[in-house]
A and B are shown apart, each in its own frame.
Chain A
Amino acid sequence: MTRFSEKEQRVAAFALLGFGAAAAIPLVDDGYYLSLSVNIAMYAVLCTAWTLFSGPTHYISLATAAFFGIGTYTVGLGIDSLPFPLLLAIAGIAAAILAGLVGVATLRLSGVYFVIFTLGLAELVRQVVTWLQTNFTTSVGLYVFTDMTEKHIFWMLLALAAIVYATGWLINRSRLGFAMRIIGNDETVARHVGIDVARSKVILFMVSGAFIGITGAILAPRFAYVEPPSAFNPVISFQVVIMALLGGTGRLWAPLLGVIPFTILFDRISSSFPNHTSLLIGVAFMAIVYFLPRGVIGLIEDLRKPRASKAGAVAQVPEAAE
């Protein structure tokens, strides 16, 4: 685990530079561009966390909003009594537990059944929270007052992004990551070489859910007023899928390639054409799927193929040997 290949050192250097540059954004601007950066950082974490699970398993989860909302609500409920870092931890644990329960119940479902179940789950959690609040408390929403500003939120998201990437990288090097690659190839073989397929998937789903929950918790102060429709907004689930697929799910950093252009595009369209946002986003999405069926990463790989294909085949091997 202590040896790093030259390629890994290069990637690490790039990542450090990237994070360093990003961390300096709030020092340059604390208005529009910072706000846009928060959106990008949020979707970067959400999409990468989503891809940790959905990339290797090919299960499309629409439960993002459920985990996100659980995190937001954890902060909403506890902000007056508990310190913020502890709330982040609780949010992660709560989302992981929910993911574990869902995983045990549903990962036997495959394909479209899993998609529908996760979509239903997000809606169910939202309705339960609404019901609890209307019947047992005096208001539907919760106030989250902190002295945190956009830049604090941005730095926290950046730190979380670093943790997500590090986790993803460690998983890829571990037995779990190797197991997931085998499962992605052929589940029958995976079982017959001794892999507990269901357990591996549930663990990964929990890790992914925990990060999404923590993201929701970090974003809570930005909402200031937390209510079910905003915390459990199903649009988040769909946007995460769209952006991750736009970037590509084969590599850890690939979703970022979808997040950055799509977030900027979304922002431009919604500010320039506020009345036709959905229409134009829909057109943009169809155009993207039509012209880039394998995502941005597919385009990049096609462009690099002539010189990279030989090197790629050889480079695969030492990874497994670490």
Chain B
Amino acid sequence: MTGRALLSVETVRKAFGGLVAVNDVDFTVKQSELIGLIGPNGSGKTTMMNLISGALKPTSGTIRLDGEAISGLPAHKISQRGVARTFQLVRILPSLSAVENVIAGAVFGHIRAWGDDAYREAEVLLERVGLGGRGSAPTGSMTYIDQKRLELARALASNPRLLLLDEWLAGLNPSELKIGIELIRDLREDGRTIIMVEHVMDAIRSLCDRCVVMSSGVKIADGSVHDVLNQPEVVTAYLGADDA
């Protein structure tokens, strides 16, 4: 584990007309770090993820991956540099089989596998996310957690330098949640660099090295999970100000 920043977000702002969704936010993510990006609904977390992955372009500010500016690049270029993501509302490719869904992540992105290599690697990843032997299954009829697993496998297929998980654990029932948390823990132990947007606090507590808290587009806290969750600003952001 090295100490250098893999991702640095420098005074990044995103305005939609008059609404400033992300307001001059700064933070960095070190190599092999798993950070949680948390905050109340509407605080700009998903917008932040979209800015990093290139779905949106920042109004101002710079995002660097390993020192190189990626802000303003189209999404496919950012993907090719090694940023992979899952989506808040799961997005699988329904007319493709499970294994093809995974291969889709490997062919055009950071690594450019094709043919038998891509196929074998995809089978390994399916096994890893718990879909072993179901490569030829039609994906449209998969259960919600299986679709989420599939999406994760697709993101991993590109062997990303940075993995963005946008509420990957949302909507899972308690036993599925346990499985999901174990899966992410596994990835962290591999040394993968991950940013996860999450509302499930148990997951944040048990997984994250560090937390960045956003509220109304502004970063209000950044530090170890325990410290951050006890900060008065964070408590206020989640629970509202004391009436007294």
A interface, CB within 8 angstroms of B? 175, 178-179, 181-182, 184-186, 188-197, 313-314, 316-317, 320-322
Answer whether residue B75 sits at the interface, using C-beta atoms and an 8 A cutoff: yes
Convert B101-115 into 0s and 1s, putting 1 for each residue whose CB lies closer than 8 angstroms to a CB of A.
001110111100011
How many CB-defined contacts (below 8 Å) exist between A and B? 91
Taking a contact as CB atoms closer than 8 A, the residue among B79, B100, B107 that contacts A192 in the complex is B79
Q: Interface residues of A: mostly helix, strand, loop or mixed?
A: helix
User: How many residues on B have C-beta within 8 angstroms of the other chain's C-beta atoms?
Assistant: 37
CB nearest to A189 among chain B residues: B91
CB nearest to A250 among chain B residues: B95
> Could you say which residues of chain B place their CB within 8 Å of the CB of A186?
91, 93
CB nearest to B83 among chain A residues: A192
Contact between chains at A193 and B104 (CB < 8 Å): yes
Taking a contact as CB atoms closer than 8 A, the residue among A175, A185, A192 that contacts B96 in the complex is A185
A181, A192, A317, A322 interface centre (most CB from chain B within 10 Å): A192
Min CB–CB distance A171 → chain B (angstroms)? 14
Contact between chains at A316 and B97 (CB < 8 Å): yes
CB nearest to B120 among chain A residues: A321
CB nearest to A312 among chain B residues: B138
Contact between chains at A317 and B100 (CB < 8 Å): yes
Q: Which residues in chain B, 51-92, are within 8 Å of chain A measured between CB atoms?
A: 53-55, 74-76, 79-80, 84-85, 87, 91
Answer whether residue B190 sits at the interface, using C-beta atoms and an 8 A cutoff: no
Contact between chains at A313 and B91 (CB < 8 Å): no
> Could you say which residues of chain A place their CB within 8 Å of the CB of B91?
186, 188-189
Min CB–CB distance B122 → chain A (angstroms)? 9
The 7 lowest CB-CB distance pairs between A and B, nearest first, are: A194-B109, A194-B108, A194-B79, A321-B119, A185-B93, A191-B75, A194-B80
> Could you say which residues of chain A place their CB within 8 Å of the CB of B96?
181-182, 185, 316
